[in-house]
Amino acid sequence: MGLRAVIFDLDGTITHFNIDYVGMRKAALAELDKMNLRTPELTEQLYLYVILEKVKRTADALTYEKLRERIYGRLEAIEIKAAREVTLHPNIEEILRELRDRGIRLGLVTNNGRSGANLTLDRFKLKAFFDTIVTRDDCQEMKPAPAPVIMVLARLNAQAEDSILVGDGVMDMIAAKAAGLRSVAVATGPSGMQHLLQAEPDYVIASISDLPELVNLLEFGSGQNASKTNMAP
């Protein structure tokens, strides 16, 4: 099976993870409290996506959109602060350039808003490497829903069977599987190896620097050989 496209997550995959996700959840719950939408089941232990999905099931459309707008506004400030301070994992520019030189189309899908994502990419001059970028401002749903991944595939004119998604989080693995892509877990984010393995990724690499070797095996070798070589579960 060939490889036409590689889709990347941003935080924890390309950059060192420095997002205050606990602060994000607290900010979201604070907005729920203001709008009297908080229920006992909505706690800081839930992913932001899960919180929004639970509210969406019970609130009317206008109320939900108002809540989402307020929450996204709070998140943007947190993300911009993180983007100003974040650092890259080693060799990212070289890896992206190598993949592009091999004729592979590159996409980026992130649950971050456009402002924070653009600030990070502009700081490190990475935006030009990507054929398309999808943020939460471009899609009604976020990972682990497959919709933003499917949007990236469509923009890349790539098929799921010819593509992989590289991410550091459980949500990336779930989104890839739901969209029909092979997933590559890189153990450099906050999820931890145990949680990543529970999400059953197709391949696992220790760092993003191992990605070109995996891509080479996927292009010219067999998937079975690639999985054995790259610590697959």
What are the pLDDT tens digits along the chain (233 aa)? 579 999 999 999 999 999 988 889 999 999 999 999 999 999 998 888 889 999 999 999 999 999 999 999 999 999 999 999 999 999 999 999 999 999 999 999 999 999 999 999 999 999 999 999 999 999 989 999 999 999 999 999 999 999 999 999 999 999 999 999 999 999 898 888 888 999 999 999 999 999 999 999 998 765 444 443 444 43
CA distance 133 to 79: 17
**Domain residues for 155?**
5-15+87-229
Question: Last residue of some domain: 85, 116, 131?
Answer: 85
Residue 1 confidence (pLDDT) = 53
Contact 98, 219 (CB under 8 A): no
Contact 54, 38 (CB under 8 A): no
Residues 70 and 94 in one domain: no
Residues 76 and 98 in one domain: no
Residues 120 and 71 in one domain: no
Residues 128 and 61 in one domain: no
For residue 101, count other CB atoms closer than 10 A to its CB.
8
Question: Last residue of some domain: 42, 67, 85?
Answer: 85
* CATH number of the domain bearing residue 218: 3.40.50.1000
Residues 99 and 161 in one domain: yes
Residues 11 and 39 in one domain: no
Based on the structure, what is the number of domains in the chain?
A: 2
Residues 148 and 59 in one domain: no
Residues 149 and 55 in one domain: no
